A and B are shown apart, each in its own frame.
Chain A
Amino acid sequence: MQYSTKVMEHFANPHNVGEIPDADGVGYMGNPVCGDIMQLYIKVQDGVITDAKFKTFGCGAAIATSSMVTDMVKGKTIDEALKISNRTVAEALDGLPPVKMHCSVLAEEALASAIDDYFKKKGLPSPVKLKVGHEHEAD
């Protein structure tokens, strides 16, 4: 496996696994046909993400990016969190094999979906433009 040490660390001991029962936003992204499913929970206080947890069905890269993205959003404002892109997550993991870059897209989209859900729950217009579904890029 050509995963970086950081990916393997996050895969072997992922941070923030679990659910937040009274979450302010829940994102669900993915498709079992193409592989990965990620469920991401956020807790928001005064516009700042105070906690994040995840559950993921997927490969090593999917689990590692889930762990990393939940680490990254904690303490960030909603605006800052929305700036986290799949590349930022992949870079924080010291890179992903090209064939696994789509896993970082899943992390970005699950986060966007959780933030979107947060706005909807508040009855506010959502600034998030969700891509529909998640499809693997061609090899």
Chain B
Amino acid sequence: MRKVYFDHAATTHPDQRVVEAMLPYLEEAFGNPSSLHDYGSAAKEALEKARAQVASLINVTRPEEIYFTSSGAEADNFALKGIALGNQQKGRHIVTSRIEHHAVMHSAQTLEKWGFQVTYVPVDKYGTVDPADVARAITPQTTLVSIMHANNEVGTIQPIAEIARITRERGVLLHTDAVATVGTIPVDVKELGVDLLSLSSHAFYGPKGAGALYVRKGVRIVPFIDGGVQEGGRRAGTENVPAIVGLGVAAEIAKAEVPSRAARLTPLRDRLARGLLERIDRVYLNGHPTQRLPGHVNVCVEYIEGESILLFLNMQGVAASSGSACTSRALKASHVLTAMGVDPALAQGSLLFSLGRDNTEEDVDYVLEVLPPIVERLRQMSPLYTARKDN
């Protein structure tokens, strides 16, 4: 059976060069970067090389502005909590959006429990934040604005550079969760104008267990983990050297390959989206028509539920994901689709196909071939479909 992996938003297959670069650090080069001896300095050197590689990918001039974390989620937690706590003498208000990744959203909710005020700006039907809403939300007490670079579910790219002009003018820091974009489309912290940026290794063919937060020099941020001198004293704990080395190599490869990755993915994405709309009745594309990630196709299939579709797709060798309530442990429909105003019953039929660099036209055509019969079968079982046909 053909295997098609269309779930790159969940994780990616590590690049062989990444895996090979990591192996020595799981074996003979096992040193602790904080040690003075040769074992330590070899590990330290590898760590700093990775820092430079990550810095270069996002056009950061000073590698020391890159802080390694265990994940993109940790980087988001570090940014929100570290900035809110570090700048509370100025004020206790932050601004974020309704479509952020849970790592940002739940950090913001934790800050609310700690007595901070949070404004969640809305999005339009395409999932785009209006910079004017951000401008209106900023008060003299605001210390931070956190808006994601691109949404991980629907793929909509946000107008970060425009938002940055507002935050700079108002003297507010800007963080962007760029986990969905770094390694997928060109990301340049200077062009974006952000003060902080989160990224994750396994989103772009690196290993799990490594992420990074860019913090512009001079930004006041409270340490995230106390207990040691690692990462400039801001994130204690012996570094996950193998994973960080992997992240570095993945970043170096991405720097060279990102433009061609995006150019190759876009036509595949469009072929899939077009094919779905042509072959299946009552399918709706979610997200912005043009300002979207090159590999994301998010659709709602009316009258049926996402998990059932995923189970049948999996039986046909196709891996995808869904924002339906039934697929989430919290049993709630995707907050992103809800914020975009998608009807809750329709959101139950949401499907996300996230394509990656190894996918081919044959993969797309295979999915276009196997999905319509699955949809038809589930619709024949659905009382909603029957009710619609009776009308």
Contacts and interface: CB of A to CB of B under 8 A. Distances in A.
Interface of A: 1, 8, 11-12, 14, 17, 19, 28, 32-39, 55-63, 99, 102, 136, 139
Instruction: Provide the main secondary structure of the chain B interface.
Output: helix
Given A32-B344, A99-B331, A60 B381 contact: no
23 contacts: A11-B308, A32-B345, A32-B348, A34-B325, A34-B331, A35-B331, A35-B348, A36-B326, A55-B381, A57-B305, A57-B348, A57-B383, A57-B384, A58-B326, A59-B306, A59-B307, A60-B307, A60-B311, A62-B305, A62-B326, A99-B329, A99-B331, A139-B330
Which residue, of B306, B308, B333, B384, has the highest number of chain A Cβ atoms within 10 A? Answer: B308
A19 B329 CA distance: 31
B1 interface: no
Contacts of A61: 326
A8 to B, nearest CB: 8
Interface string B292-318: 000000000001111110011011000
B381 A63 contact: yes
Given A17-B380, A59-B306, 14 more contacts: A19-B386, A32-B345, A35-B324, A35-B325, A39-B383, A55-B382, A55-B386, A57-B304, A58-B326, A60-B307, A60-B308, A60-B311, A136-B325, A139-B331
A11 B315 CA distance: 12
B327 interface: yes
The secondary-structure label for the interface of chain A is mixed
Contacts of B324: 35, 59
B329 A58 contact: no
A101 B326 CA distance: 12
Contacts, number: 75
Nearest to A56: B381
A62 to B, nearest CB: 7
A57 B303 contact: yes
A55 B330 contact: no
A39 B384 CA distance: 10
A11 B311 contact: yes
Contacts of A99: 329, 331
B327 A59 contact: yes
Nearest to A66: B381
In order of increasing CB-CB distance, the 7 nearest A-B pairs are A59-B326, A32-B345, A59-B307, A55-B383, A39-B383, A57-B382, A136-B331
Contacts of A28: 383
A134 to B, nearest CB: 12
Contacts of B315: 12
A58 B305 contact: yes
Nearest to B311: A60
A37 B383 contact: yes
A63 B377 CA distance: 12
A37 B307 CA distance: 14
Contacts of A60: 307-308, 311
Contacts of B311: 1, 8, 11, 60
Contacts of A62: 305, 326
Contacts of B307: 59-60
A99 B307 CA distance: 13
Contacts of B330: 139
Interface string B369-391: 00000000000111110100000
B18 to A, nearest CB: 29
A37 B384 contact: yes
Contacts of B386: 19, 39, 55
B328 to A, nearest CB: 9
Most central of B314, B315, B348 by chain A CB within 10 Å: B348
A35 B328 CA distance: 11
Nearest to B307: A59
A79 to B, nearest CB: 27
> Which one of A12, A32, A36, A63 has the greatest number of beta carbons of chain B within 10 Å?
A32
A19 B387 CA distance: 12
A28 B43 CA distance: 64
B326 A56 contact: no
